[in-house]
């Protein structure tokens, strides 16, 4: 008796065939030579013949498991039972290359010992099971074996099943493919389903419904033999930890393969369209008119934080000054008489100035310019150089976020998380009491807003 705890193969009886193989690593079937006299060839656990694998071992109901490295322990254990056991009691578990070498030349001929042709049926007293000749070997009809009898020459080649390439993906993120429909095979004709890829730990699942609400094979990386006609195939994998890196996943159903490409965000997302989320989590917003260099905004409005799939927290509504409607201060930030102010108005310089300036002459000491101070002190996406954009910069941001300057259309919120009907503060000053703000929905800007009004802000950097 052989006991192999934890390997799924627990035992065999004196006939050598009562071992139980529940190991999911089983990936193929082979013929097994018993007692040096007869070749047996049994289907097992839904697996079709497959050339990969390293070792063989006997499983339940006469099946022979071809195992990958995970099953190596099986063959070693069974090797112990080879010596001194009489005919029909010995188990031979051989490494795959050896097993193939032992296949007789008659592998393509009719069944032998006893002689037979397809579809002859015999009863094997030794193993108390019926066997049929598939034209080459005597196949077991015991247990679930009958499930794997396929009509000769059945079509297990599906029509090509495309997977949509995905780019601009966040790094180190598990992503799923579209759900591909598998057609063009004969119903009942099984095929080996597999997935491969050098990186990303790819897996597949098989569903019986187009939305995968009903799963027939849950996520796995293992090969499986499945009747795929009319079913649905979906892939998943983890994106690269590096920016701008493509992984290619290959899925196969029978002889047909299809590639799925998943590419992470580029390191320099300013080469991508506005609204592209950069590898660092910031959002490319266009070119700053103040510096003629790329400008980025936070993923979410002031007060909110990206939670992985959406912005969380409460949107900050802040005054431009300290919230007082008296004691206004005309700072050294250049006053802007009319929109869009000077094209070179620099939000970064404005913010530095405002963060150090007193906003309320009626109160002793220094009161903050709250909107600018928020951006000046912000530490997010790995940066601390955030600033409150000037009006010309805010105009670029708002037009990037709503290109047609019309609310309720498909181009809304290209940059994400803007309150579409709100005004947002710029760092451009109007005079002592007023500052410039701009509305997202239509791009309208005004300097008639008192500095104490509390509205949203979006910080930028470059």
CB 343 within 8 A of CB 335: no
- 402 lies in the binding site for Ca ion (CB under 5 A): yes
User: Site size for Ca ion, by CB under 5 A?
Assistant: 15
Distance CA 111, CA 46 (A): 23
Quote the least distance from Cβ 366 to Ca ion, whole Å: 6
Collect all residues with Cβ–Cβ distance below 8 Å to 297 and sequence separation of at least 6: 282, 283, 285, 397, 415, 458, 459, 460, 461
Strand partners, 437: 425, 446
Distance CA 256, CA 1 (A): 43
Quote the least distance from Cβ 348 to Ca ion, whole Å: 16
Applying CB under 5 A, which of residues 301, 360, 376, 395 lies at the interface with Ca ion?
A: 360
- 227 lies in the binding site for Ca ion (CB under 5 A): no
Quote the least distance from Cβ 449 to Ca ion, whole Å: 15
Distance CA 457, CA 419 (A): 10
Tokens of 122: 């015999």
Quote the least distance from Cβ 353 to Ca ion, whole Å: 9
- 401 lies in the binding site for Ca ion (CB under 5 A): no
- 409 lies in the binding site for Ca ion (CB under 5 A): yes
- 429 lies in the binding site for Ca ion (CB under 5 A): yes
Quote the least distance from Cβ 420 to Ca ion, whole Å: 8
Applying CB under 5 A, which of residues 172, 183, 325, 406 lies at the interface with Ca ion?
A: 406
For Ca ion, the binding residues in 157-196 under the rule CB under 5 A are none
For Ca ion, the binding residues in 103-142 under the rule CB under 5 A are none
Distance CA 89, CA 289 (A): 86
Quote the least distance from Cβ 378 to Ca ion, whole Å: 23
- 70 lies in the binding site for Ca ion (CB under 5 A): no
Distance CA 287, CA 284 (A): 9
- 358 lies in the binding site for Ca ion (CB under 5 A): yes
Stretch (H or E) spanning 382:
none
Nearer to Ca ion, 186 or 358 (CB): 358
For Ca ion, the binding residues in 287-346 under the rule CB under 5 A are 330-331, 333, 335
In terms of phi and psi (left: phi > 0; alpha: psi -120 to 50; beta: otherwise), the region of 431 is beta
Applying CB under 5 A, which of residues 118, 411, 448, 454 lies at the interface with Ca ion?
A: 411
Distance CA 120, CA 130 (A): 10
Contact set with Ca ion (CB under 5 A): 330-331, 333, 335, 358, 360, 363, 367, 402, 404, 406, 409, 411-412, 429
């Amino acid at each position: 008796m052989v006991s192999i705890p934890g390997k799924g193969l627990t035992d065999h009886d004196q006939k050598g065939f009562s071992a139980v193989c529940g190991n999911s690593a089983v990936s193929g079937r082979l013929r097994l030579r018993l007692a040096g006299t007869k070749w047996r060839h049994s289907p097992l656990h839904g697996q079709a013949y497959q050339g990969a694998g390293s070792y063989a071992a006997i499983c339940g109901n006469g099946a022979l498991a071809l195992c990958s490295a995970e099953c190596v322990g099986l063959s070693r254990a069974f090797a112990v039972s080879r010596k001194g056991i009489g005919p029909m009691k010995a188990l031979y578990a051989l490494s795959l290359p050896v097993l193939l070498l032992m296949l007789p030349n008659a592998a393509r001929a009719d069944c032998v010992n006893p002689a037979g042709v397809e579809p002859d049926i015999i009863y094997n007293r030794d193993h108390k099971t019926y066997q049929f000749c598939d034209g080459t070997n005597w196949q077991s009809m015991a247990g679930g074996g009958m499930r794997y009898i396929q009509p000769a020459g059945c079509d297990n080649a599906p029509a090509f099943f495309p997977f949509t390439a995905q780019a601009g993906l966040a790094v180190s993120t598990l992503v799923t493919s579209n759900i591909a429909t598998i057609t063009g095979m004969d119903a009942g004709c099984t095929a080996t389903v597999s997935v491969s890829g050098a990186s990303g730990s790819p897996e597949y699942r098989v569903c019986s419904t187009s939305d995968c609400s009903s799963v027939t094979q849950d996520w796995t990386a293992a090969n499986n033999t499945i009747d795929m006609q009319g079913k649905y195939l979906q892939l998943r994998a983890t994106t690269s930890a590096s920016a701008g890196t493509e992984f290619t996943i290959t899925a196969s159903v029978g002889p047909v393969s299809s590639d799925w490409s998943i590419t992470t965000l580029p390191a320099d997302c300013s080469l991508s369209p506005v609204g592209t989320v950069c590898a660092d989590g910031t959002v490319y917003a266009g070119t700053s008119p103040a510096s003629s260099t790329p400008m980025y905004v936070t993923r979410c409005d002031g007060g909110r934080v990206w939670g992985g799939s959406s912005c969380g927290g409460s949107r900050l509504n802040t005054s431009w000054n300290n919230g007082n409607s008296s004691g206004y201060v005309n700072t050294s930030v250049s006053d802007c008489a009319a929109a869009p102010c000077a094209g070179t108005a620099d939000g970064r310089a404005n913010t530095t100035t405002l963060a150090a300036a007193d906003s309320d002459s009626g109160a002793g000491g220094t009161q903050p310019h709250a909107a600018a101070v928020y951006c000046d002190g912000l530490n997010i996406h790995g940066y601390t150089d955030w600033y409150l954009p000037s009006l010309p910069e805010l105009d670029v941001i708002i037009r990037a976020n709503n290109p047609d300057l019309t609310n309720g259309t498909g181009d809304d919120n290209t940059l994400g998380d803007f309150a579409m009907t709100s005004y947002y503060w710029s760092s451009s000053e109007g005079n002592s009491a007023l500052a410039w703000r701009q509305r997202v929905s239509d791009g309208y800007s005004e300097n008639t807003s008192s500095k104490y009004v509390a509205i949203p802000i979006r910080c930028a950097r470059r």
